[in-house]
A and B are shown apart, each in its own frame.
Chain A
Amino acid sequence: MTDAGFILGSYAITFGSILIFAWRTVRSGKSLSDGMSDEEKPWL
């Protein structure tokens, strides 16, 4: 594969950004929900 560094780098940046954003979202959801009852979570 020619220009492998740029190509693999673009995939790494894309998938890495997805992973970090998803992980931060799930983690903040978990820490915030610790202080709340199920009645305060309309999605349940």
Chain B
Amino acid sequence: MTLDPPSTVSTTSRRGTATAATRVLGVLTIVMIGWLGVFGLLLSPADRDQGDAVRIMYVHVPSVWLAYLAFIVTALASAVHLFGKSHSMQADRVAGASAEIGVVFMAVTLVTGMLWGRITWGVYWQWDARLTTTALLFISYIGYLAVRGLEGSRSQRARRSAIVGLLAVLEVPLVHWSVRLWRSLHQEATVLGTDLDVSLDGLMLFSLFVGVVAFTLLFLWLLLHRSRVLTMIDLSAETGLDAALAQRRAEGGVTA
């Protein structure tokens, strides 16, 4: 006689947040990051002035690009939640997921910038316009994540954080143009300056391009997975609340 295994959620459902599309995206991202390592560390030439220190640019610039992109996506998703007719909670989760990714990559930007600064300036940190505004941007989004963790209903959390998300993004152009607005130790934008002039050697520019493409793919992959995780966290909280209410009703002899 054979017995069928007991039917549980974990045996009938698919584990994780992956789909065929995210698997393809993940493989592409790994390949591109591999190429970034090869181009950044081996194939691209040393700079005439900075020597090998320029290799840090291939991870530093894509990191800040990803952080800016993440904060802009947070603002757009916040606007969709705040001004959209349905006040989409999915938009709120995308905003939260994107901000988490942005904070991680802003931290990476600050640390890699400090290492680059130690080589070129001789110090890890200076209270310079670019560095200070970048640190403020980082702290602002830590604040955004703190606001998301405040007490209150999910709609209150979404509304409050959407307002903060829309205000904090105003710092992004300030950080980007800080080297023009104030005297700064930091070099001006290499690619996206006001004159849109590209002052990089061909292979250096290509290496930077590989980095930007790799980190853009990485952002999409992380955003898809992280927003699905936030969806499940919200659903778990909802299910837990329903169960707690049912238990209270049962204890009080109230029928739903």
Contacts and interface: CB of A to CB of B under 8 A. Distances in A.
Interface of A: 1-4, 6-11, 13-15, 17-18, 21-22, 25-26, 28-30, 32-38, 40-44
Interface stretch (B55-63, B161-169, B199-207): B55-63
Contacts of A36: 9, 13, 232, 235-236
A30 B15 contact: yes
Nearest to B12: A37
A40 B33 contact: no
Interface in B37-60: 37, 40-41, 51-53, 55-56, 59-60
B66 to A, nearest CB: 10
Determine chain A's interface SS by DSSP, over half rule: helix
Contacts of B40: 11
Contacts of B228: 29, 41, 43
A11 B41 contact: yes
B116 interface: yes
Contacts, number: 119
Interface stretch (B107-115, B129-137, B183-191): B107-115
A20 to B, nearest CB: 9
Interface in B116-135: 116, 118-119
B59 A11 contact: yes
A26 B53 CA distance: 34
Interface residues of B, number: 46
B153 interface: no
Given A10-B116, A34-B15, A29 B229 contact: yes
A43 B17 contact: yes
Contacts of A33: 13-17, 232
Given A30-B15, A40-B235, A21 B52 contact: no
B15 A9 contact: no
Top 9 A-B residue pairs of the complex, sorted by shortest distance between their CB atoms: A29-B17, A32-B232, A14-B59, A10-B112, A30-B16, A6-B115, A10-B56, A10-B115, A34-B10
Given A11-B59, A21-B104, 7 more contacts: A13-B108, A25-B225, A30-B15, A32-B236, A38-B12, A40-B232, A41-B14
